[in-house]
Amino acid sequence: MKSFYNAEKISENVWWVGAVDWSVRNFHGYLTERGTTYNAFLIIDEKVTLVDTVKEPFFNEMMERISTVIDPAKIDYIISNHAEPDHSGALPQAIAAIKPERVIASAMGAKTLKAYYGLDAEVAKDPISLGRGALTFVETKMLHWPDSMISFYDRDGVLFSQDAFGQHLAGSKLWADEYDGALIEHEMSKYYANIINAQSTKVLALLDSLPALNLPVKVIAPDHGPIFRKDFDKVFAAYRRYAGQKPQLRAVVVFATMWHATEALARAFADGVRSAGVEVSIIDLAVSERSAVMTAVANSGLAAFGAPTMNNQMFPAMADILTYIKGLKPLNKIGFAFGSCGWSGEGAKQISAELEAMKFEQPIPFIQSKYKPTADELKRAFDAGATLAEQLKQSV
Ligand code: FEO
């Protein structure tokens, strides 16, 4: 049954033919509370070209959209900018249905497509002519996988940026400027913190290299979320700011608790931060999830972590979140560890060791209380919050 999926024009010769995933809430551990899109693009030139595909279950949606512009069998080339299955899942079916003359990916992309699907792809090298226009490829290794590359269609000035500049945001509008700016900024920041942050050095190198590439960009078309047709300076500046990881005048207190003792320390610490006039938020791991915590940590210059001890170890929810954060390599943080225990008391010490491994500066030693924090321990937590907030103010 036809579903009336249409293609939407994003430039004179390029169409969006992707899919909107309104329902996805868990994107390999990232809470996609607003769903996402898998953007694929169709270039109508003498060589008709499909840039990226969609997640496997959305194959039919993509093909229906393509069919409103051109018979899919007329597609000559398929470009795979990124082989992660949210963009390549529909590729085997697309190749079988379209039988394109060429499938092109980066060198690592060709290997990845072979490993996933047994597909043979040609390695992107020089710019390729599509007839009236040409596609140029720029490798962007590790943004977000080793195979990643971006491509630029010079005839219309469209930069197909795959994961870069994306947002997990389902919607019926195509353009970022049709959404509330604060929503776009929030989703871009969350996406960066949880997908890209670990590769910030490479992001800065890419941003530095873009002017020399002399790409007259008129559209930035990421593989997720709305597309940009203006304010490119703002988009690049946002990525430069995220990648720079300069301390921000904001604090977050992340805690897990069993009988509210660690929670009491968390609240005392946060009140201390507040008393110094620094914005602070408290995140209870019992009612939150990883991507929200990482977003808050990325956007805070001061991050405190507290957990009880359970079976001689830090409470498992805290171990989980610290493992997740560590992999994303946040920089330039002031940290603080705390926790309450019944007897053995390894929790706060282990948290402090993890913060040390992440190179968080810890000017104040961890606080480990027993059973229920004493008035003195709560005062120490409050004072630690106030002191570290004052220190943060000096460093921003
Ligand atoms: Fe949207 Fe790295 O895949």
Is the beta carbon of 163 within 6 A of some atom in ligand 1? yes
Is the beta carbon of 21 within 6 A of some atom in ligand 1? no
Contact (Cβ atoms closer than 8 angstroms) between residue 343 and residue 313: no
Q: Report the nearest atom of ligand 1 relative to the CA of 224.
A: 1
Q: Is 224 a catalytic residue?
A: yes
Protein residue whose Cα sits closest to atom 1 of ligand 1 = 163
Residue range 39-65: mean pLDDT, rounded = 98
Q: Report the nearest atom of ligand 1 relative to the CA of 148.
A: 2
Is the beta carbon of 168 within 6 A of some atom in ligand 1? no
Q: Is 192 a catalytic residue?
A: no
Q: Is 144 a catalytic residue?
A: yes
pLDDT at position 342: 96
Choice among 87, 144, 239, 377 that is catalytic: 144
Is the beta carbon of 147 within 6 A of some atom in ligand 1? no
Protein residue whose Cα sits closest to atom 3 of ligand 1 = 84
Least confident of 1-15, 24-38, 55-69, 302-316: 1-15
The whole-angstrom separation of Cα 199 and Cα 206 is: 11
pLDDT at position 105: 98
Write down the pTM of the prediction. 0.96
Residue range 332-351: mean pLDDT, rounded = 97
pLDDT at position 126: 86
Alpha carbon distances (Å) from 285 to 186, 232, 354 = 21, 36, 17
Residue range 243-263: mean pLDDT, rounded = 98
pLDDT at position 2: 66
Q: Report the nearest atom of ligand 1 relative to the CA of 223.
A: 1
Choice among 84, 147, 187, 223 that is catalytic: 84
Is the beta carbon of 377 within 6 A of some atom in ligand 1? no
- Tell me the per-residue pLDDT of 103-144, one tens digit each, with 9 for 90 and over: 999 999 999 999 999 999 999 998 999 999 999 999 999 998
Distance 43 CA to ligand 1 centre (A): 21
Is the beta carbon of 86 within 6 A of some atom in ligand 1? yes
Is the beta carbon of 144 within 6 A of some atom in ligand 1? yes
Return the exposure string of 153-186: e unless at least 16 CB atoms fall within 10 Å of the residue's CB, then b. Answer: bebbbbbbbbbbbbbbbbbeebebeebeeeebeb
Is the beta carbon of 85 within 6 A of some atom in ligand 1? no
Q: Is 186 a catalytic residue?
A: no
Distance 166 CA to ligand 1 centre (A): 9
Is the beta carbon of 65 within 6 A of some atom in ligand 1? no
Distance 143 CA to ligand 1 centre (A): 9
Contacts for 115-124: CB closer than 8 Å, 24+ residues apart = 116/83, 116/85, 116/88, 117/88, 117/91, 117/92, 119/91, 119/92, 119/95, 121/80, 124/79, 124/149, 124/151
pLDDT at position 3: 73
pLDDT at position 209: 93
Q: Is 260 a catalytic residue?
A: no
Q: Is 86 a catalytic residue?
A: yes
Q: Is 191 a catalytic residue?
A: yes
pLDDT tier for residue 63 given thresholds of 50, 70 and 90: very high
pLDDT at position 1: 59
Residue range 374-384: mean pLDDT, rounded = 98
Is the beta carbon of 190 within 6 A of some atom in ligand 1? no
Residue range 277-286: mean pLDDT, rounded = 98
Choice among 52, 147, 163, 223 that is catalytic: 163
Alpha carbon distances (Å) from 186 to 190, 292, 325, 351 = 6, 11, 19, 28
Q: Comparing C-alpha atoms, which of 325, 322, 379 is closest to residue 347?
A: 322
Q: Is 117 a catalytic residue?
A: no
The whole-angstrom separation of Cα 62 and Cα 51 is: 12
CA angle 343, 349, 354 (to 5 degrees): 145
Choice among 82, 168, 239, 354 that is catalytic: 82
- Tell me the per-residue pLDDT of 151-199, one tens digit each, with 9 for 90 and over: 999 999 999 999 999 999 999 999 999 999 999 999 999 999 999 999 9
Q: Report the nearest atom of ligand 1 relative to the CA of 38.
A: 1
Examine the pLDDT at 212 and tell me if it is beyond 90.
no
The whole-angstrom separation of Cα 190 and Cα 238 is: 12
Alpha carbon distances (Å) from 282 to 12, 216, 264, 269, 286 = 48, 44, 11, 10, 12
